[in-house]
Structure 1
């Protein structure tokens, strides 16, 4: 017979069991239970825990507490600390290797040096993997709506990686609309990969069953009474139980005559039950319950007694009384002082807490802070109560809150740090210097996730600062925050004012770089464009400011198609100092990378690899996105689509985790371009929608998105719309001073659309213009593409010559995919002209397309081969040259003796990804075991590619 507290929960229980058994088999995921308070989420979690443990899984549990929402990684600590504590006295590998950065979350704060947020998240990810080595793992979190932001960020980082882990995440939350869910929780809850369960209220029949079972055996309930119970509670199981408690306590007969009374009691059942019970208990019991409500569920009895100002003996007696009347519950404890006390349900605590007047609440939290300070409690526990006191100019409160902020930063939680610092400003600090320091700290924290808040703090800091160097630094960060908010006029004024107040030449150049970065967002500033020639004539200096300025000049000149951009980029990236930026200016290195990528300079990969490694080492999420995005762009330009896709995905996760909307257009558009080259058009469309860009006229880098949309429309044969979209991209690109086809080849895209519409003359004009501009920029990929499209537009013998020139131009370039496309198009054009098709060139094009994973081009090449009498059904390139850069790196690490786990940690990828690479490496090198990889690598340095059948 179904237990009364699990009535009508068969579907939820079955789904939880399915996901538990799937995780046991290595296919993890997330289940979200969402329902109003009292529906029975916690009971379902309890049942899931029992099922998981019976299946041999290890269950780690955490619970959100409203009072602890600002604890840095509070939920994470609840999950992992008990398991870590059990290994502290014996050798443990749980926090070694890639998991080492997670140690900062669990250790006492010993440094004020901020921990990188990505380093912490990645370390926790590997801690999770390590935990799951001995047994499949369940991470179970109740009341996730009260999770701290840092823990939610970890969950957001973990969820996309669960499908290849024996790890199940099970969370329970109140309806997000009721609780005004945090953005991270909302994003997590709407992830398409999660399984969402929404248990509802009980039916009328199940409600009657529950009520009848809860009444005294000698109390027979009439139908109208049972119906009234259902109507009064809307079938909420907890309210039904509490309503029955009131009925029993007040000796209300379960007859139809009392139905109206039941309807009146229903919505207030819990508050009424608490009130009735309190009236029957001694005053000390009421004081004790109120102290637990203030201190938080699970408070130790010794602390509760001190807070309630009663003896420990009396407190123990009151706990027993409160347990007997179903207000408290507690587990046996060997120490009376350490005995932890809990309310039977969060709604009961809410009812008790709600009885306290605002003045009493403030005093109670202040007393709690004093007691915890005297007990040398964790500073964040003290700060949680300090947050709930009235500002009084207390220097001790300021010290507590600043110390808590330092601890939160050291654990990688800027959100928690900012919450403490904002309350610190309300206290306020007694000295002007302290207030300035707090404002700068709060502004620096806020710019990582709340730009509006950062601007407010930093603007006030600017009014207080009297140090010229400090003011320049504040303006640099503040200008970047305003720029990201698209408040370009304010940013312009900030940089201009800073230039007149700059303490030295290096600060001036930093501010000039910031000023020029306005062109990222707002192209309508001709005065800035005009100033570039004068700025370029400035004497070069060996400083960070000079490198920042070179990066911006390189970015602008590259858009203009001016090859001088290459010199600027090389200087900007010369010693890696630019890669150390972590604030609002972190996108400045893109200005150094983009020109080199657009110019087909593979030397940029050394800087990009360093940037990726550096971002991981320092662990700053905001630095991850540009590094991965630009390396992905380099792979994309070379035609390594799978590697590009992997890097773009990493960047996408970083952008989501850090909430960097400004980076979405670049990432989403280039991810879409990679998808399109692979023939994955639906995924390309999703990537473009993810950018949030609806119009080409929106501020920012929207021309990348518009250009990608034009290509997608053409591939779907919507030629008229594709043409107009390509022209929109071109207009927007030109508004930003852009004409370089190596960055946005909108003219050749328009030409391809015009060819499909049979508007040949117009197609030739656009194609010819792109050829001219590509030769001005002098990069093989851009020239080769422009020549290929121009050859298609010209047709005839002139077209064949252009296609031959494209093949010749690309032959020795790193642009493999573009070279493959030129080879296939030349073969096709020769066939149409009735001329002999060199099969070796067509074979070469198909090989390269296969290595690039460009499925549509492979199919096109195979179709051409079949037309001229070839019999090849499929190509399978082999040999060292067939390995992608990622596969080659994995192969080299295998040859060095590294395990899959070590490779995953070294390359910041999953073990599953290493497994996939390993399978491809074995096939391409024609080996069957790891020991043969080294031999084959050494023997295949010069081996040509081979076609397989």
Structure 2
């Protein structure tokens, strides 16, 4: 287990610096975002300078992760020229290229040449003074710099230390696993971070091979205070029922407590028992129960206080550790505990605590005690204390008050508290005892909801189907059961029936006249409509929004504000959808709803991906994965893995994308939720197309193509795989199979006026035209697609259209125009980090044989826009001339103005002589 104290991690930094000798050494500090890695890195840099090190440092940045040799250039920027002069001619050329001092002329160099040059520089400098190579956030290293550093590290010698930090969650690989020094045992790898709830969960899972329920884990975390030893011992003592009321401590700890407390008996023992039988013991309460003066109680408690058992904090009695209190309670024995609870019930004024003491002090059912427990449970429900309410109902059941109604109430509260196992155990053994009709429907609905919460959708379906039938005469329950049934059907892939049930729920809710239920039913119906590619029912959604009432028990797919944000993004209004999803995610956090958090975060990651913010999407996905691991796996892990796979596919991280997709598909099948396999398949299909593996792409996408032969693909959410399928089919010459897909995109794009569908359809049409030799028509079609791109905030899609336009122009021997368009695509793919696609564009650029541009403060695309703007052309004219969108023109001009410190076109025109290609 990695060190979790900051002092230990600082010591690791000190050890690295203090141990520098003739052999290079490294320290890799890994951890989650915001955990303090950079603070440690800065500490190391400062300490190194204090100790006379020469520090070469770089802080890798996401925005620069696509710039070749960016990190290496930072490291070499301030190196003295005399050091570089000692390099070989080839190494100097390599370094000059890294530092942008020379172009492509001269002998070829690569990362190996540059790596050997960097190693030579470090070794030479280390002769004069020790060197610290400090790199922060290695996960953002551009791929070329990482390759250079890997080569250089294996060649290092002398007084060189490397201090690297990188983001990595507990289950992820080392962020610098590529780092290897000549002596392998000179690399120390440290993961930082406290033992959070997630860490405790992981630790207990690894130790016992089973995941405890989340409520139990939360209680263990609270009691142990994050102490792993106590957490493990508490985990051994939890019997799976209640972590609070009747869990017995392991005998080893009980014995430890007994040895420390056994000499306190009589009045002192009773006072200790009283103190550990209540949640917030006070001297006054103990005095009242013991019928002693307060001063006498303080005097008698002096002994336990001196022994370190407890301390008096004013009027409060505070045990040194909860385990001590629990041990005293356990060791007291049942009869003595019952007597104490009866005494406490006699003095307690608060209804819930009084009822609890009455129950714990009773040996059999008494009407007054049962009524007190029911009343107390209702009060707890009113305060939102579901777990407490469930425990109170369970106490009544355990005392002999076992009725179907009380079991239903207990199960409902267990479910609301997130304890699905106890909810099911409360109902399942006695299900046959529930009468037909509303009572049985309620029981079935609860069991179905519990199975859905456990991501067992096939298991939920028969229960909820029967619940709908049994609830025919109970309208409110009928709506609730029908909504659950619809959602389970959807997750199981039965989309038509799911939509039919959602529509039925709307009708039932309208008949009932319950606005809150009407809002939920309308919301789910709108969501399922859109998921099927149907037009969004705007009036229905507006009505659902008007009727929406805040309620944490309402699932996200049935919440109008969430459905509004999700479907808005599906329609292509990504920025508005993003704002709504961020707000919804914040609300889910505020509500503490893990299920809503996962649902909303999955869609949020999807929107970030469409916007080209792949690293952010990956971060969101990883957050979902962590949450899913804390919840015991299932649906959340599938969602997290899926969206990380998608982001990784765009970033060209083939290994991560394939593994995440594989795990996601397996998890979806395990949940019995084929619907969840769609996006992992889309990610894999896109990856194969990106890599040029068209046969493999079609094989992956075949299930989706078969499922959509009914033409139901009409919007971005269900149709994202279709452009990849079209490209693969055209590349393989299977034009007849591509035609209906293109026609569907065009048809539904026009009918719904969706820019994504229109651009995807136009690009597909141009591919068909080009494949049949009609290049002029293909070019014209792509011009129309570029107009639609102005309405679509999806930079990757624009660059993809530009890539094909460049290919069409090249095939028409319009090489200069092709190069212009391709360079813009290359810039966009580079900025997005889509390195595989940037490589594809680079290959196309090579085929154009167009003149290359040199390096300038302005990028090639910015120079082209600036030169035309300086002549007085409008943004629209520039866009037409360069085959780009007006928005791209605006973006480039803004950058030009900033870089050249000008404000107007006239000022730009005055500097026209500077706007030349090198």
> What band does the TM-score fall into relative to the shorter chain?
0.5 to 0.7
The alpha-carbon deviation at position 761 of structure 1 amounts to 3.1
Q: Indicate the residue corresponding to 2:825 in structure 1.
A: 845
1:365 to 333, 338, 341: 341
Residues 1:782 and 2:775 aligned together:
no
The alpha-carbon deviation at position 587 of structure 1 amounts to 1.0
Residues 1:772 and 2:772 aligned together:
no
Task: Judge conservation of contact 1:285–1:318 (CA < 8 Å) in 2.
Answer: yes
**CA distance in 2: counterparts of 1:817 and 1:869, whole angstroms:** 25
Task: Work out the number of aligned pairs and report it.
Answer: 664
Q: Indicate the residue corresponding to 2:317 in structure 1.
A: 340
SS of residue in 1 equivalent to 2:343: helix
2:702 to 722, 727, 741: 727
Q: Indicate the residue corresponding to 1:672 in structure 2.
A: 645
Name the CA shift for 1:849/1:397 in 2 (closer, same or farther; >3 Å).
farther
**CA distance in 2: counterparts of 1:699 and 1:611, whole angstroms:** 24
The alpha-carbon deviation at position 419 of structure 1 amounts to 3.6
**CA distance in 1: counterparts of 2:733 and 2:217, whole angstroms:** 49
User: What are the within-5 Å matches in structure 2 for residues 2-21 of structure 1?
Assistant: 15=8
Q: Indicate the residue corresponding to 1:109 in structure 2.
A: none
What CA RMSD, in Å, does the superposition of the two structures yield over aligned residues?
Answer: 6.4
Residues 1:870 and 2:870 aligned together:
no
Task: Judge conservation of contact 1:29–1:169 (CA < 8 Å) in 2.
Answer: no
2:419 to 447, 450, 457: 450
Residues 1:699 and 2:692 aligned together:
no
Q: Indicate the residue corresponding to 2:553 in structure 1.
A: 583
Residues 1:835 and 2:814 aligned together:
yes
Q: Which structure exhibits the higher relative contact order, with contacts defined as CA atoms closer than 8 Å and separated by 6 or more residues?
A: 1
Deviations 1:107-132 (A, max 9, x none): xxxxxxxxxxxxxxxxxxxxxxxxxx
Task: Judge conservation of contact 2:411–2:446 (CA < 8 Å) in 1.
Answer: no
**CA distance in 2: counterparts of 1:519 and 1:559, whole angstroms:** 13
Residues 1:812 and 2:812 aligned together:
no
Deviations 1:72-102 (A, max 9, x none): xxxxxxxxxxxxxxxxxxxxxxxxxxxxxxx
Q: Which runs of 5+ in 1 are unaligned?
A: 1-8, 32-156, 161-165, 201-266, 882-919, 941-945
The alpha-carbon deviation at position 808 of structure 1 amounts to 1.9
The alpha-carbon deviation at position 809 of structure 1 amounts to 2.6
Task: Judge conservation of contact 2:829–2:837 (CA < 8 Å) in 1.
Answer: yes
**CA distance in 1: counterparts of 2:293 and 2:529, whole angstroms:** 77
**CA distance in 2: counterparts of 1:476 and 1:268, whole angstroms:** 43
TM-score by length of 2: 0.55
1:423 to 372, 395, 398: 395
The alpha-carbon deviation at position 491 of structure 1 amounts to 1.4
Task: Judge conservation of contact 1:479–1:495 (CA < 8 Å) in 2.
Answer: no
Task: Judge conservation of contact 1:449–1:659 (CA < 8 Å) in 2.
Answer: no
Q: Indicate the residue corresponding to 2:537 in structure 1.
A: 568
**CA distance in 2: counterparts of 1:626 and 1:502, whole angstroms:** 30
The alpha-carbon deviation at position 824 of structure 1 amounts to 1.7
The alpha-carbon deviation at position 737 of structure 1 amounts to 7.4
User: What are the within-5 Å matches in structure 2 for residues 565-714 of structure 1?
Assistant: 565-568=534-537, 571-574=540-543, 576-577=545-546, 580=549, 582-583=552-553, 585-588=555-558, 589=560, 597-600=569-572, 611=584, 622-639=595-612, 641=614, 661-662=634-635, 665-666=638-639, 668-681=641-654, 684=657, 688=661, 691=664, 693-694=666-667, 698-701=672-675, 702-712=677-687
User: What are the within-5 Å matches in structure 2 for residues 146-157 of structure 1?
Assistant: none
Name the CA shift for 1:291/1:585 in 2 (closer, same or farther; >3 Å).
closer
**CA distance in 2: counterparts of 1:271 and 1:617, whole angstroms:** 42
TM-score by length of 1: 0.54
SS of residue in 2 equivalent to 1:824: helix
**CA distance in 2: counterparts of 1:947 and 1:405, whole angstroms:** 78
**CA distance in 1: counterparts of 2:643 and 2:316, whole angstroms:** 57
Name the CA shift for 1:660/1:783 in 2 (closer, same or farther; >3 Å).
farther
Deviations 1:228-266 (A, max 9, x none): xxxxxxxxxxxxxxxxxxxxxxxxxxxxxxxxxxxxxxx
Q: Which runs of 5+ in 2 are unaligned?
A: 15-27, 38-168, 173-191, 231-250, 866-890, 909-914
Residues 1:356 and 2:332 aligned together:
yes
The alpha-carbon deviation at position 822 of structure 1 amounts to 0.7
**CA distance in 2: counterparts of 1:544 and 1:635, whole angstroms:** 31
Deviations 1:31-57 (A, max 9, x none): 9xxxxxxxxxxxxxxxxxxxxxxxxxx
SS of residue in 2 equivalent to 1:489: helix
Deviations 1:639-678 (A, max 9, x none): 4556655766676677677789546545543443233223
**CA distance in 2: counterparts of 1:332 and 1:789, whole angstroms:** 77
User: What are the within-5 Å matches in structure 2 for residues 139-178 of structure 1?
Assistant: 176=204, 177=207
Task: Judge conservation of contact 2:805–2:821 (CA < 8 Å) in 1.
Answer: no
Task: Judge conservation of contact 1:483–1:518 (CA < 8 Å) in 2.
Answer: yes
Name the CA shift for 1:745/1:340 in 2 (closer, same or farther; >3 Å).
closer
**CA distance in 2: counterparts of 1:926 and 1:605, whole angstroms:** 29
The alpha-carbon deviation at position 616 of structure 1 amounts to 6.9
The alpha-carbon deviation at position 818 of structure 1 amounts to 1.2
SS of residue in 1 equivalent to 2:647: helix
**CA distance in 1: counterparts of 2:374 and 2:503, whole angstroms:** 50
User: What are the within-5 Å matches in structure 2 for residues 251-330 of structure 1?
Assistant: 271=255, 274=258, 278=262, 283-292=266-275, 294=277, 299-304=281-286, 307=289, 318-321=300-303, 326=307, 328-330=308-310
Deviations 1:434-485 (A, max 9, x none): x8589458516614623455567799999999998x9999988876555554
The alpha-carbon deviation at position 488 of structure 1 amounts to 0.8
The alpha-carbon deviation at position 774 of structure 1 amounts to 1.4
**CA distance in 2: counterparts of 1:290 and 1:770, whole angstroms:** 75
**CA distance in 1: counterparts of 2:507 and 2:331, whole angstroms:** 72
User: What are the within-5 Å matches in structure 2 for residues 886-905 of structure 1?
Assistant: none
**CA distance in 1: counterparts of 2:253 and 2:227, whole angstroms:** 27
User: What are the within-5 Å matches in structure 2 for residues 70-469 of structure 1?
Assistant: 176=204, 177=207, 182-184=212-214, 271=255, 274=258, 278=262, 283-292=266-275, 294=277, 299-304=281-286, 307=289, 318-321=300-303, 326=307, 328-331=308-311, 338=315, 340=317, 342=319, 352-371=328-347, 373-374=348-349, 383=356, 392-393=365-366, 395=368, 399=372, 403=376, 406=379, 410=383, 414-426=386-398, 436=405, 439-440=408-409, 443=412, 446-447=415-416, 449-451=418-420, 453=422
Residues 1:519 and 2:472 aligned together:
no
Task: Judge conservation of contact 2:530–2:536 (CA < 8 Å) in 1.
Answer: no
**CA distance in 2: counterparts of 1:637 and 1:497, whole angstroms:** 44
**CA distance in 2: counterparts of 1:577 and 1:463, whole angstroms:** 41
Name the CA shift for 1:268/1:648 in 2 (closer, same or farther; >3 Å).
closer
Deviations 1:176-224 (A, max 9, x none): 3479764449999999xxxx99789xxxxxxxxxxxxxxxxxxxxxxxx
Task: Judge conservation of contact 2:468–2:478 (CA < 8 Å) in 1.
Answer: no
SS of residue in 2 equivalent to 1:784: helix
Task: Judge conservation of contact 1:696–1:703 (CA < 8 Å) in 2.
Answer: no
**CA distance in 2: counterparts of 1:726 and 1:585, whole angstroms:** 31
The alpha-carbon deviation at position 823 of structure 1 amounts to 0.6
